[in-house]
């Protein structure tokens, strides 16, 4: 058994010996993306399992070890970890937990400390917790190398593209399940390519983007009018089926087309904040330069993805990060960056400008940053865009799913009514002067 090693602050470290012996558990948020992230980590020599346990047991486990006033995503992620350790057959002395940490004033920085506190309360503080961050915490057995970061960026791009095209096909497919089968096919194909060292250069990625678009275009579908519904919000609640009670599946069951902005803009936003910090508060010009270069590289990859969607002749392409930044000008400034910050408002604006006026803003109950940049901005957006149809939905273990769904149904009914009135106005003959 690997020897437990602590740093000078008393933090349990993930050692090189643990890398050989331990299984790293990852929480679930984006199944397509995280499946590929897992493979990238395995190619670096780590043993990794992706958690998929859901249901009330996860919520109850989180409530047992995390105060119910704490951020809901933290409660769910910690609940998923502890439920898996207790019920999925893992040896608790042979697992480590992987979690993100950004250094900001919100969830991604505080989760890791809440998780360690929960492990101690559960009598499992011998389980190491690995921070996925740039230098906030260091572990001898885990590091984000430049090649690994580059590969994770490619995996994120593939994930965003597949999620994008799948959402544009699934509501219209002639045979239920065709889109999901194509998603599974490409996830398997990409993992196989990664295993053989392929698909991990920009040239190969651009080629892969075109292949994916071409393949999804072959799925038989019937074009018809459906209500498009954008989904924005706190990153975990926005993406995680566990966090939002299977929101996308519910929208599909109601005859709507979900439009979900990808993960890439959020990552660029987090890098850009480091640049903005130097501009606003001062700081290292070298740090600013490095962050700008890193951001430019991710943006170049994003443009590759957008170009592939535009060239497909079938799929709508999202705007890029610079467009989002321009759209939010006059609403919020760069200093508004807690949680999803100005990006959340920008995503709503981008959806409205692209013709998706109906939006669900999914937020954890009591999440102050998202109540400001999400629910707090709805009135301003409706003043400037009267046809926007936005509903903010709070997600909390005590909130009933039926109440959430009823509010979304009301939004959908309003959307259909607005579409019917618009069609009627267009059909009315113009008055003829006599």
> Which segments of 196-284 does DSSP mark as H helices, in order?
202-217, 235-239, 247-253, 264-281
Q: What are the structure tokens assigned to 114, written together?
A: 């809440």
Q: What is the pLDDT of residue 106?
A: 67
1-5 long-range Cβ contacts below 8 angstroms, 24+ apart: 1/93, 4/126, 5/140
CATH C-level class of 225-261+318-434 = alpha beta
Domain 16-143 is found in CATH 1.10.287: no
Residue 127 makes CB contacts below 8 A (sequence gap 6+) with: 12, 85, 92, 95, 96, 97, 119
Residue 137 makes CB contacts below 8 A (sequence gap 6+) with: 11, 101, 112, 131
Q: What is the pLDDT of residue 90?
A: 96
The pLDDT profile of the chain, 434 residues, written as one tens digit per residue, is 788 999 999 999 999 999 999 999 999 999 999 999 999 999 999 999 999 999 899 999 999 998 877 888 889 999 999 999 999 999 999 999 999 887 667 655 778 889 999 999 999 999 999 988 877 789 999 998 888 999 999 999 999 999 999 999 999 999 999 999 999 999 999 999 999 989 989 999 999 999 999 999 999 999 998 999 999 999 999 999 999 999 999 999 999 999 999 999 999 999 999 999 999 999 999 999 999 999 999 999 999 999 999 999 999 999 999 999 999 999 999 999 888 999 999 999 999 999 999 999 999 887 888 889 999 999 999 999 999 999 999 998 888 889 999 999 999 999 988 888 877 777 765 544 44
Alpha-carbon torsion (360, 69, 239, 177), positive or negative:
negative
pTM of the model: 0.93
> Which segments of 240-374 does DSSP mark as H helices, in order?
247-253, 264-281, 285-311, 321-327, 341-353, 368-373
Q: What is the pLDDT of residue 27?
A: 93
Q: What are the structure tokens assigned to 184, written together?
A: 């599974």
CATH 3.40.50 residue ranges in the chain? 16-143, 225-261+318-434
Distances (CA, A) of 151 to 144, 294, 364: 11, 14, 31
């Amino acid at each position: 058994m690997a020897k437990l090693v602590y740093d000078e602050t008393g933090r349990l470290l993930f050692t090189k010996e643990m890398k050989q012996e331990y299984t790293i558990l990852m929480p679930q948020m984006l199944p397509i993306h995280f499946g590929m992230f897992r493979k990238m980590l395995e190619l670096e020599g780590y043993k990794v399992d992706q958690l998929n346990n859901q249901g009330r047991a996860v919520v109850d486990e989180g409530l047992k070890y995390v105060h119910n006033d704490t951020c809901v995503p933290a409660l769910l992620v910690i609940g998923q970890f502890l439920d898996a350790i207790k019920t999925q057959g893992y040896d608790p002395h042979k697992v480590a937990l992987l979690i993100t940490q950004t250094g900001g004033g919100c969830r991604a920085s505080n989760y890791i400390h809440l998780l360690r506190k929960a492990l101690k309360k559960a009598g499992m503080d011998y389980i190491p917790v690995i921070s996925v961050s740039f230098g906030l915490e260091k572990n001898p057995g885990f590091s984000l190398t430049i090649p690994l970061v580059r590969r994770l960026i490619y995996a994120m791009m593939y994930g965003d593209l597949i999620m994008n095209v799948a959402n544009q096909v699934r509501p219209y497919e002639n045979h239920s399940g065709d889109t999901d089968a194509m998603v599974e096919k490409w996830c398997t194909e990409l993992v196989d390519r990664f295993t053989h060292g392929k698909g991990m250069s920009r040239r190969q990625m651009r080629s892969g983007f075109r292949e994916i678009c071409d393949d999804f275009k072959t799925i038989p579908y019937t074009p018809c009018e459906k209500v498009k519904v954008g989904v924005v919000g706190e990153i975990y609640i926005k993406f995680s089926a566990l966090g939002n009670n299977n929101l996308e599946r519910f929208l599909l069951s109601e005859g709507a087309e979900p439009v979900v902005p990808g993960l890439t803009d959020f990552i660029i936003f987090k890098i850009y904040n480091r640049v903005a910090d130097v501009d606003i508060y001062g700081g290292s010009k070298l740090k600013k330069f490095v962050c700008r270069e890193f951001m430019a590289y991710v943006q170049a990859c994003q443009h590759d993805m957008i170009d592939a969607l535009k060239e497909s002749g079938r799929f709508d392409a999202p705007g890029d990060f610079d467009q989002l930044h321009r759209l939010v000008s006059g609403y919020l400034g760069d200093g508004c960056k807690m949680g999803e910050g100005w990006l959340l408002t920008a995503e709503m604006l981008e959806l409205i400008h692209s013709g998706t006026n109906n939006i669900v803003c999914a937020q954890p109950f009591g999440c102050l940053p998202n109540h400001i940049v999400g629910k707090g901005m709805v009135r301003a957006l409706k003043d400037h865009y009267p046809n926007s149809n936005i509903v903010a939905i709070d997600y909390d273990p005590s909130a009933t799913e039926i109440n959430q769904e009823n509010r979304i149904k009301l939004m959908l009914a309003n959307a259909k009514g607005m579409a019917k009135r618009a069609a009627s106005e267009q059909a009315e003959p113009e008055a003829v002067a006599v």
